[in-house]
Amino acid sequence: MPEYDFRCGNCGEKVTIRATISEREKGLNCPHCGTKDLHQIFSGITFIGSSTGSDFSSFPPGCIPGGGCCPS
């Protein structure tokens, strides 16, 4: 049975609910306050900013770490 992580929009609690697909489609209730105002959290997905790679610009092209081409 898959687990789903939710953030409750009513009480703000993070809840992990095990439910079948059909149970989930019927609607899940927050175990803390009982509302259906649950927003699924997709964990494991990391959004990497567009600035990724800019750090490498400080190294000269062709530099091999430990290769003696740069003072260390």
Residue 14 binds Zn ion (CB under 5 A): no
**First-to-final CA distance of the chain:** 53
Work out whether 33 is an interface residue with Zn ion (CB under 5 A). Answer: yes
Q: Which of 4, 5, 7, 11 binds Zn ion (CB under 5 A)?
A: 11
Q: Does 36 bind Zn ion (CB under 5 A)?
A: no
d(CA 54, CA 52) in angstroms, rounded, equals 6
Q: How far apart are CA 69 and CA 59, in angstroms?
A: 11
Residue 10 or 20: which CB sits closer to Zn ion? 10
Question: In the range 38-67, which residues lie near Zn ion by CB under 5 A?
Answer: none
> What's the rounded Cα separation, in Å, for the pair 28 and 16?
11
Examine residue 8 and tell whether it contacts Zn ion (CB under 5 A).
Answer: yes
